[in-house]
Structure formats: structure tokens, C-alpha cells
Amino acid sequence: MLKKIYASAVFGVEASTITVEVNVDSGIGYHLVGLPDNAIKESNFRIAAALQNNGYKIPGKKITINMAPADLRKEGSAYDLTLAIGILSASQQIQAENLDQYLIMGELSLDGSIHPIKGALPIAVKAREEGFKGFILPSSNAKEAAIVNDLEVYGVDNIKQVIDYFDKAVSLEQTIIDTREEFNKSLNFPEFDFSDVKGQEGIKRCMEIAAAGGHNIILIGPPGAGKTMLAKRLPSILPPMTLYEALETTKIHSVVGRVKDTGLMAQRPFRSPHHTISNVALVGGGSYPQPGEISLSHNGVLFLDELPEFKREVLEVMRQPLEDREVTISRAKFTVTYPSSFMLVASMNPSPGGYFNDPNAPVTSSPAEMQRYLSKVSGPLLDRIDIHIEVTPVPFDKLSEERKSESSVTIRERVTKARESQTQRFSDSETVHYNAQMNTKQIRKYCALDAASKDLLKTAMERLNLSARAYDRILKVSRTIADLEGSETVNGTHISEAIQYRSLDREGWLG
């Protein structure tokens, strides 16, 4: 007897439906065809045990399983449940009339319990698109799949539940989520809040500007100054995610099987990979491509703590995706693209010992050591960072102050307003949405200076010995400062403030 049952394969952040045909005939043998990988080929052992332990069996007949389309590579153990139910149905051990209305996926363990799968959200999106009635999957993935409307989602923990559902019409509990309500609920409660940071008003201002214009930023300061603490709070002042952005971000996290209990991720992600990270883990890849940290930070913040400690080549591979806002991974037979639009926040100590020009420093570094250390971050990556700011530790009396400072939600309101004027400014452009993305032509157009401001900038650049690459960056940041103020034009005050945010261009640093 021939039966069809459905599953899905994920490529990039999109899923494709897989038709699994199971034919049970007289004879003997077990054949699995249609480009399955090793994990799938091994599935018969798991399936045999799982069935046995639940009172069923793989029949001693000739079983042929075809996974179509045959040219699409299928990988992983998520098809165990699909195949097991297919075999039971094709060998008439169970009645399953409406099997073809469902997508069924899950990894089996030997006792028949069901383990999570990757990519439940993109699979659910595709299932709805193709008109399936329901999606039966591991219960720990049910919430992320239930984000999709108009699809019945059933989370299961054991193969027995699935068997009884089809064979004995024992009902399964449907997972229902009001996506919009969940989304709105979590919007206003950022995990980390700027009100926890005492003092540091100047740095907070700086981060507000960075958030408002989408500027990449680097924080320079000695150990314990609060760099990590500040960076962690940046997502909380970025404009709230739209439902569409939240879906995009959740999809990527779903693909690596890392969606938390909330189902939909309504908070912007904050990723902080260790400096020993490999190229593949950072930008994505591998023989079965997986998204890397830059994609997991999509619509959020990527924090590179201790930037000079990262291997230079790792930083190099990040340059292109930083520009394109997506990363493409090519393999012989296919290419996948993962979105990677993130804000980069980096931090560094001012010297390998951690201190710079500080007479009380416990460690000192020789000029040669300093030069070697700093030269690691010079060049192309630094070219993509608009704002440099020095962070000095807050004195004790400020730290012990009771007074609460401004909350992230309040700062975010100003940021959002400034972003709105940018959205309007660049409404004609498909690629540019905020100030940090401006090209040279747009900088000339939107950051036009009067004679006095021009003079001011020229003098400052000469006096502070700023490099030429600082020029455009200062203009972009000035534009954002003006936007925060609601000013049409960029004036001298805006310029003077922006000039302060170029520490690394000054003499004595990177030179």
C-alpha cells in the first residue's frame, strides 16, 4: 500500500514542502531514497525502537520510502516522526484518513518521546501558504509555529499521542497564540534598562545619537568602566520592532532552534560573541549552512567586546555583510541568503594593559605594545564606525547615588521621533533608511553647511589633527544630532558635538 505524508526542509530562512511516499509491499527490505543525509538514513533504528516500545513495529516487508523532490537535500533527524507515522499508515497498522492535511515533524528517541526541531517558524509559514490544515510538531516548538495564523498547531511529546490522534480520534491540544497581543505585551519592558546606569550622561547621550541615526559605535575605556553594561542596553532605546521585523528576526532564531518560550521575539536581539569566535560562527556557513552571529543580531545589536582581541580575518569577513546587510553562502548545488542588518557596537581597552595616559594605572604598556594593539583595529572596519567615545569609570559617590536616571522607554521616544524624520527624508530611496547609510551625494545634499559652520569644522579638523575619513562621519552624526533636535539644518552646535565623537582619529591614537 502506498501512502503520502508531508514534511518540510529549510533553506536559509525559507521552507520547502517535502512529500514523503511510503510504499509497503510483499518482499523484504528497507529503502530510503531522495537525497537523505546520514541522520535520516539512521532514522530506521530510532523508528524501529520507538514503535516497538509503543506496541507497534516496522513490518517485515519491503518498505520503500521516497522523499520528493529528489534534488532537494534533506538533513537532520526531524523526519523521524514523519517516516514512522507514514510506515504505520502504509502498513495499515493505524487508520489515518486525513494524513495529507497535516505537516508532521519531530525527532524520535528510542522510547517514542519527541525532541525539538529547527526552523519550526519558517516551516509553519510555508505550511499555511500551501494550504495545510495543521502542523504536528514537538511541543517545545509549538509556540513559535503558532505565531502563524490560520494554521492549527499541535505540540506533542510522544509518538503515542500522534498515533491515537489519527487512529482513535483522541484529540490533541491546539496551541493558540494571539500574536499581536503577545507582541504588544512585551514591547515596553526591555530586559536591561538605561535607568540602571548611574551617571555616564555623556555616554548615554552618545548612545542615543547612535541609536537615532543607526550609527555604529565604539566604546573605549579601562576595565570596569561600564562598557559592557552600556552596550547591553542599546537595544532598549532603538525604535520598537515592527511586527514584520519581529517575525524576520524570530525566523532566523527558529532556524538555529533557539527561539525562547515567548514564541515571537518582540525585543531586539543583543548578541555578544566571544573574541575566539570562528569565521563561520560569526558570519554563517558550514557544510549545512546555518546563520551566524551577524544574522542572529538581525534588527538588533552585535556587540564585539574587546575588539582588538578578535582575529583580524574574522573582522575582515564581516565587512561585506556589514555593507550589504545580508550574507550569501554558496555551495556547489545551492545558495542561501541570511539577512544581517544590525548595529555594531564595539568596545576596547585603550591599551593592552587596559589604561591610557592614566598616572594611577596599575599596569602600563610600552608605546610599541600600544601601537601593535591599536593597529589591529585600524583600517576598513573602523571606517564603518561613525562614533568613538571614551568611557571613564563613574566615581564612587555617583555610583552610590539613589537617584534613578532616565528610563530607556523615555530615551526611545526621542530616538523614534528622530528616526521618523529620517524615514521621511529617505522615503524615495530603497537602500537608505537612516543617516548612517547616507552616501556621499546624500551627505552633500542633507548636511549642507553655512560658511560659519564650514569654517568651524575646518579649524577643528586642523587643530585636532583629524583624518580625512573623519569628515563625512562628522557630517552624518551632525545630521542625526540635528534630527534629535528637530532642526531642518545642520548648524555649528551640531558640528561641535559630533567632532567630540572621533577620539580614535586624534593624534596619539591610531595616527
Does position 137 interact with ligand ATP (CB under 6 A)? The reply is no
The span from the CA of 447 to the CA of 443, in Å, is 5
First to last CA, the chain: 76
Residue 502 CB, nearest distance to ligand ATP (Å)? 20
Choice between 110 and 399, CB closer to ligand ATP? 399
Choice between 79 and 355, CB closer to ligand ATP? 355
Q: Which does 199 bind (CB under 5 to 8 A by kind): Mg ion, ligand ATP, none?
A: ligand ATP
The span from the CA of 350 to the CA of 509, in Å, is 9
Does position 220 interact with ligand ATP (CB under 6 A)? The reply is no
Quote the cell numbers at residue 338: 541570511
Does position 225 interact with ligand ATP (CB under 6 A)? The reply is yes
Does position 228 interact with Mg ion (CB under 5 A)? The reply is yes
Does position 361 interact with ligand ATP (CB under 6 A)? The reply is no
Count, residues in the chain: 511
Residue 275 CB, nearest distance to ligand ATP (Å)? 11
User: Residue 163: which H helix or E strand, with range?
Assistant: helix 159-168
Distances (CA, A) of 209 to 114, 138, 214, 481: 48, 44, 8, 6
Residue of 443, 432, 442 whose CA lies nearest to 478: 443
Position 220, amino acid? I
Binding span for ligand ATP by CB under 6 A among 59-67, 191-199, 317-325, 368-376: 191-199
Q: Name the residue with the smallest CB distance to Mg ion.
A: 228
Among the listed residues 3, 204, 215, 227, the single contact to ligand ATP using CB under 6 A: 227
Does position 229 interact with ligand ATP (CB under 6 A)? The reply is yes
Choice between 175 and 365, CB closer to ligand ATP? 365
Choice between 75 and 306, CB closer to Mg ion? 306
Does position 279 interact with Mg ion (CB under 5 A)? The reply is no
Residue 228 CB, nearest distance to Mg ion (Å)? 3
Choice between 226 and 285, CB closer to ligand ATP? 226
Write a three-state SS string for 192-258. Answer: CCHHHCCCCHHHHHHHHHHHHHCCCEEEECCCCCCHHHHHHCHHHHCCCCCHHHHHHHHHHHHHCCC
Choice between 399 and 452, CB closer to ligand ATP? 399
Residue 207 CB, nearest distance to ligand ATP (Å)? 13
| Binding to ligand ATP, residues 398-457 (CB under 6 A) | 399
Quote the cell numbers at residue 1: 500500500
Choice between 1 and 399, CB closer to ligand ATP? 399
The span from the CA of 232 to the CA of 40, in Å, is 40
User: Which segments of 270-311 does DSSP mark as H helices, in order?
Assistant: 279-283, 293-296
Q: Which positions ≥6 away from 63 have C-beta within 8 Å?
A: 22, 23, 24, 25, 29, 30, 31, 87, 90, 91
Give the interface with ligand ATP as residue ranges (CB under 6 A). 197-200, 221, 223-229, 349, 394, 399
